[in-house]
Amino acid sequence: MSLLMIRVGCVNFINAYPLTKNLKGFELIYDIPSKLADMLHDGVLDIALVSSIEYAKRFKDYTIIKDLCIGSDKKVCSITLFSNLKIGNIKTVGYDRSTRSSITLLKIIMKEMNKVVKYEEEGNNLEKLLRIYDSVLLIGDNALKNRDYPSKYKYDLGELWNRITGLPFVYALWVCKKDLEVDPNHFKDQYLKNIDNISTLLNNDEKTSFNINYLENIIKYDLTSERLKGLNLFYKKSFENGFIEKIPQIKFID
């Protein structure tokens, strides 16, 4: 299959810019992570940057582009639980419908704390939702834009995961349809060019010191052995809690 025929699903979040900006030769299709996952499953896409849990759900049909991810070693800043209550007292969570890995991560964290919580898929109007629910989970740019919102409590899910496990967390992966013929170096090479020129990836209104530091120092893009260890533990806990049917074998595209 020629590059021009390969349909690639991209997320238009700031944290995806180093992986998605300036990709050439593909048909690029932008949407939220949950919709991209459905499009990949339905055959509308050949490759997509999707939540890591999506690979686990259908791993027999997919492979992963090696060496790349969206992850964090500790805090992530863009996956935040805004809350009216301390985390141990939360009974209800409204969550951003674009998330799948992050809501699974939150459910695992709550189960680790032996908490029974009701979850409702909602939009991302933080002020409105905090009048309805004890807490609200936002991801990506929505979480970043609301980072100064004066909720009584804020919890960074990357930080909570690291506190429980001592490991990094992997939120998203480049996932490919099985048997797709594509050179994964197209993605790695473009990432290496992008990561050395972070400020050029941002729009003028996005060029803040916070965003530059966020991309250069907070978000991690290399799928190292330690991050793979964190990913495998996430899959193990997802299986133990009934969120996936099997612990997936991680297969990289050749």
The answer to whether the CB of 105 falls within 8 A of the CB of 158 is no
Quote the pLDDT of residue 213: 96
Within-domain flag for 251: no
> Do 96 and 161 belong together in one domain?
yes
Chain mean position to CA 182: 23
Tens digit of pLDDT for each residue in 84-107? 999 999 999 999 888 789 999 999
> Do 161 and 192 belong together in one domain?
no
Q: List the CATH number of the domain containing 14.
A: 3.40.190.10
The answer to whether the CB of 134 falls within 8 A of the CB of 83 is yes
pLDDT at residue 243 above 90? yes
Quote the pLDDT of residue 127: 94
Tens digit of pLDDT for each residue in 150-198? 999 999 999 999 999 999 999 999 999 998 989 999 999 999 999 999 9
> Do 161 and 179 belong together in one domain?
no
Helix (H, G, I), strand (E, B) or coil at 168: coil
- Which residue, 144, 165, 186, sits at the end of a domain? 165
Tens digit of pLDDT for each residue in 33-79? 889 999 999 999 999 999 999 999 999 999 999 999 999 999 999 99
Number of domains in the chain: 2
- Which residue, 129, 148, 165, sits at the end of a domain? 165
Q: What is the domain extent for residue 45?
A: 3-73+169-240
- Which residue, 123, 144, 165, sits at the end of a domain? 165
Q: Which residues on adjacent β-strands are paired with residue 96?
A: 122
Within-domain flag for 126: yes
Within-domain flag for 246: no
Within-domain flag for 249: no
Strand order through the sheet with 118-122: 118-122, 92-96, 135-139, 79-83, 153-156
The CA-to-CA distance between both ends of the chain, in Å, stands at: 15
Within-domain flag for 245: no
> Do 69 and 188 belong together in one domain?
yes
Question: Which amino acid belongs to residue 63?
Answer: T
Residue with tokens 């899959």: 235
